[in-house]
Amino acid sequence: MVVKVPIFPLPNSILYPGVYLPLHVFEERYKNMLKKVMESDGELAVSYAPEVQPDKFFPNMICGSGPVRILKKYESGESDILVFGTQRIRFNKYVQELPYLIGEGEVLHINREMPQKTHDDLLVQIRDMVIGWIFANIEDSQRPIQFFKNMADLEPLCNFVAFHFIPEFDKKQKMLEEDSLEAKAQVIWKVLKDFEASGEKNPIGAPLIFPGTQTDEGFN
């Protein structure tokens, strides 16, 4: 399936399917981009764009995309937004570069093949570690704990951990690009085990946005 989606390149953000990403939009070109997205009820892709040379950024061609909700609009035209990742896209080319990027590409689907017992064991172990961490570190934990208790899909569970527990953006990008769910889950299991051993509370030092909280209202 070929798609055309506006791209928001950022040096410190990655969007995963099943994960909420808060952003602040302040540049004029991206204000215009957001306006077009909202008018068309479309989606926005967020591309991790590391600075490869001073003031030169390289957007990755594999990134997440999804619908946008405006949380707050300022008199200056700036906006606080929340993007909910729904899919991965591999862009093949840019069909527009100015005033902002629009890419054309294909939706990527992860390979879910693995023995059922392997899937179930990884799901239970990763889910239990996430729930244990939420219980120990989040004050208002009832709703997110209930959400994760009911979660039966390994992919968004792994994506949640990759987003919130892996601090290095290059490693985050690698997890986004991983095409095997089993391989991704094995890495995520080790990330959580190492995190448990470290005793840290929040590895990325950023707010955690959980499904089942007020911030996700407005997405279907």
CATH number, domain at 26?
2.30.130.40
Residues 92, 140, single domain; the answer is no
- 70 & 143 share domain: no
> Which domain range does residue 86 map to?
2-108
- Each residue's pLDDT, cut to its tens digit, for the chain (220 residues) gives 899 999 999 999 999 999 999 999 999 999 999 999 999 999 999 999 998 777 778 999 999 999 999 999 999 999 999 999 999 999 999 999 999 999 999 999 999 999 999 999 999 999 999 998 888 878 888 888 888 999 999 999 999 999 988 989 999 999 999 999 999 999 999 999 988 887 766 655 555 666 555 455 544 4
Beta strand pairing status for 56-57 and 51-53?
antiparallel
pLDDT of residue 34: 97
Inter-residue contact 163 to 16 (CB < 8 Å): yes
Strands 43-48 and 2-10 come out as parallel
Which residues, at least 6 apart from 78, have a Cβ–Cβ distance to it below 8 Å?
Answer: 24, 25, 26, 31
| Separation between Cα atoms, residue 70 and residue 90, nearest integer Å | 26
Residue 192 pLDDT: 93
How far is 46 from 14, CA to CA, in rounded Å? 6
- End-of-domain residue from the set 49, 73, 108: 108
Q: What total of structural domains would you count in the chain? A: 2
Residues 14 and 38 in one domain: yes
| pTM of the predicted protein model | 0.89
Query: Do 94 and 191 reside in the same domain of the chain?
Result: no
